[in-house]
Structure 1
Amino acid sequence: MSVSIDITGLPPERIVFEASPLAELCITLHVLSEPGHHPGPAGWANATAGALRQDLAERLCEADFLWRHAFSDLFMPYSGLRGGDGRTGRTLAEELDQLDRLDDDQFVTTALEFTCLAAYNTGAPSPLADRATRARALELATARGPRQLDFTERLLKDPASVRAWVRRLLEDCDDAFFAAVWREAEPVLAADTRHKTELLRRKGLSEALAEVSPAVTLEDGGGLIRIDKLTEGHTSAVDPAVGPGLTFVPSRFGWPHLMVLHRPGWRPVVHYPIGSPQLPPPASVELLKLRLEALAHPVRIQLCRSMARAPHTTGELAGILGISAPEVSRHLGVLKKAGLITARRRGRYVNYQLDVLAVARLSGEFLEGILR
């Protein structure tokens, strides 16, 4: 599973690395809502949440579906501006101005993204014009709570007032905590974009992508970027309807999330974390799937139990479990393909042992895989 970006024929100058204050504000709001996803800044999140004015905290709860579970593309408006160049703004105010320039259909459809995730790759009718989409938006908002329902009803009835309300909310967040966050983050993010831009210029896109994330690779002779994620999607950076362009946006607070904006009619954006913990490279989605499936069988769990205590041969394992040696070999093959056991030959015998470190990392790999 992956999201792919077609870059065939994309001019090199249309691939840019740029910081985005509005995208970083989105991540900080997410951290405040879901501190469990981000153990690193948990102290900052607790202190900041505790210092919020009550009215601001309540307003953040009202609109938190924009950043809690799914990252609304509203926080990357430069991608959707028709006739724009896909470039980020230098300041939060500039990017809020870009947000104001989205038309009502773009704003409402994107704000209510949680109602049409199943149609994200193909697009969905605007709830302002389509009765079925509107009814679905209200139904899902009802399931999320009275504040979300009220927000959705107001958004569908009077988009202009809600757009002004959202802008004031984000400006108040800037006053309350984000301005201080951005003063510290901006130099770090600017240094990263300079480094990646220079790497792109001197060594090429493949080298630059390798430093973005091991989950981002260049394929098809340089015509396709693939991002390893637990979702399927495809977009183009050379869509003539919106103009060529691909933007990479770094985030200081983003780990472990690696986000890809691939909404139809918008330029693609890859939002990637920097300064992540020094851990082994993340397992691919396919390897994660293999490992979870390998451990789902009761016989293989018993084999793992035995091999975790000491190395064993196939014959020894067959005797312990009371099954045939060929059956043990088949199960060992599955575990070996998943990278969960090691094999060492001693004379005529091969000893199999559980890779304890690989199994210990599995929970972290699973969490990173589903949050990526």
Structure 2
Amino acid sequence: MSVMIDIAGLPPERILFRPSPLAELCTALHALAEPGHHPGLHGWTTATNAALKPDLADRLCEADFLWTSTFSDVNMPFAALPDTQGIPGNTLAEDLDMLDRLDDEVFVNAAMEISCSSLYAQPGPSPLVDAGAREHALERATARGPRQLEFAKRLLDDPPAVRAWLRRLFEDCAEAFFNDVWQRVRVQLAADARHKTEVLRHKGLAEALGQVSAAVSLSEDGSRIVVDKLGNGRTTALDPAIGQGVTFVPSSFGWPHVWVLHAPGWRPMVHYPVAAPELPGPASLDLLKLRLEALSHPLRMRMCRFLARASYTTGELASGVDITPPEVSRHIAVLKKAGLVTTRRRGRYVLHQLDLTVVARLGSDFVEGVLR
């Protein structure tokens, strides 16, 4: 399975490598919200979370679905604006100005993609104007919890107010910790982008993609960029409505994720990590055998892709992998027996999630695969 970006006939100069302050901030927020995804950042996430003022920490929890399970496309607003030509801002303020320019329907559609859904790459009506789409969006928000549901309702009722609230949240994060982070990492990210650009210029796209990630490659005929993912998707870098091109955005916080923005009407983006930490070794032989047997079914591997990112209900998983809820329950039972999945109740919802402290012991290949 993979996400493919059509590039047939795309001039090499339309393939860009550029860091984005807003994308890096949202990646940092993801690491703070999901520290189990990023064992190499444990010291930073622990210290930063402990230093957050209660009000800021509280507001981050309110909107955390923007950077946890699905990593919302609102973190790269320049991808939806034709006049940017796929180039992020040089500063966080410039990126936030682009966020302010997004059409309300574009902003809301991106912000409301809060759980696994097969509808991501399919154009459809906006929940701002379609009652069915609104009901579906609120149903998914309900499963995330009462605060997320309230946030979703405010977003649908008054997008400009929520957009202003979100900008202030990002600005407060910058003051609290991200300004220092960006001063530390921006030189590294800019250097990585320059290096990849030089590789592209002198050695070709295939070599440049190989240096982005082992999960990213060029098809044999050179017409597609292929990103190895536990899911399928396709987009084009040749859409004249948004502008031809594809942008690769480096991140110092991203490992093991390789995110691909491939929504209709957006310029394709690949958000890739610039470094990988060492992970602990595998578990005992007996536990390893039990867990590998549980993961031998390809459908359970697909479910793990969702469960690694956040907790999900049986119904949400059924929608995400296109099977019935009873079938999902049977697969969850196998994963639980192997000790790979934890379950908790939130009101009338039962939420399942992959135990990353356990699966990390299966080795970095598995962790990187399900979190990619």
Q: Deviations over 1:210-254 (max 9, x none)?
A: 100111111142111101010100010011221101100000010
- Which residue of structure 2 lines up, in the alignment, with residue 160 of structure 1? 160
Aligned residues of 1:115 and 1:137 also touching (Cα < 8 A):
no
- Which residue of structure 1 lines up, in the alignment, with residue 105 of structure 2? 105
Q: Deviations over 1:63-108 (max 9, x none)?
A: 0000111110000001011443111110000000000110000010
Secondary structure of the corresponding residue to residue 221 of structure 1: coil
Aligned residues of 1:115 and 1:136 also touching (Cα < 8 A):
no
CA-based RMSD of the aligned residues comes to: 2.0
- After superposing the two structures, state which structure 1 stretch, 215-224 or 52-61, moved more: 215-224
Alignment of 1:25-40 (within 5 A): 25-40=25-40
- Which residue of structure 1 lines up, in the alignment, with residue 194 of structure 2? 194
- Which residue of structure 2 lines up, in the alignment, with residue 126 of structure 1? 126
- Which residue of structure 1 lines up, in the alignment, with residue 181 of structure 2? 181
- Which residue of structure 1 lines up, in the alignment, with residue 274 of structure 2? 274
Give the Cα–Cα distance (whole angstroms) in 2 for the partners of residues 148 and 278 of structure 1: 34
Q: Deviations over 1:284-332 (max 9, x none)?
A: xxxxxxx9579859xxxxxxxxxxxxxxxxxxxxxxxxxxxxxxxxxxx
Which contiguous aligned blocks of 4+ residues in structure 1 show a shift greater than 3 angstroms? 291-297, 360-364
- Which residue of structure 2 lines up, in the alignment, with residue 219 of structure 1? 219
1:38 Cα deviation from its structure 2 partner: 0.4
- Which residue of structure 1 lines up, in the alignment, with residue 147 of structure 2? 147
Q: Deviations over 1:185-227 (max 9, x none)?
A: 0000011011111111111111111100111111142111101
1:366 Cα deviation from its structure 2 partner: 2.2
1:123 Cα deviation from its structure 2 partner: 2.2
Secondary structure of the corresponding residue to residue 260 of structure 2: strand
Say whether 1:12 aligns with 2:15.
Answer: no
Give the Cα–Cα distance (whole angstroms) in 2 for the partners of residues 138 and 294 of structure 1: 33
- Which residue of structure 2 lines up, in the alignment, with residue 47 of structure 1? 47
Structure 2: unaligned runs, 5 residues or longer: 280-290, 298-359
Give the Cα–Cα distance (whole angstroms) in 1 for the partners of residues 245 and 91 of structure 2: 21
Give the Cα–Cα distance (whole angstroms) in 2 for the partners of residues 265 and 116 of structure 1: 20
Give the Cα–Cα distance (whole angstroms) in 2 for the partners of residues 161 and 120 of structure 1: 25
Give the Cα–Cα distance (whole angstroms) in 2 for the partners of residues 189 and 276 of structure 1: 14
Q: TM-score scaled to structure 1, two decimals?
A: 0.77
Return closer, same or farther for 1:52/1:10 CA change in 2, 3 Å cut-off.
same
Q: How many correspondences in the alignment?
A: 300
- After superposing the two structures, state which structure 1 stretch, 75-84 or 30-39, moved more: 75-84
Q: TM-score scaled to structure 2, two decimals?
A: 0.77
Aligned residues of 2:141 and 2:148 also touching (Cα < 8 A):
yes
Percent identity, aligned pairs only? Answer: 63
- Which residue of structure 2 lines up, in the alignment, with residue 60 of structure 1? 60
Return closer, same or farther for 1:192/1:215 CA change in 2, 3 Å cut-off.
same
1:41 Cα deviation from its structure 2 partner: 1.0
Secondary structure of the corresponding residue to residue 3 of structure 1: strand
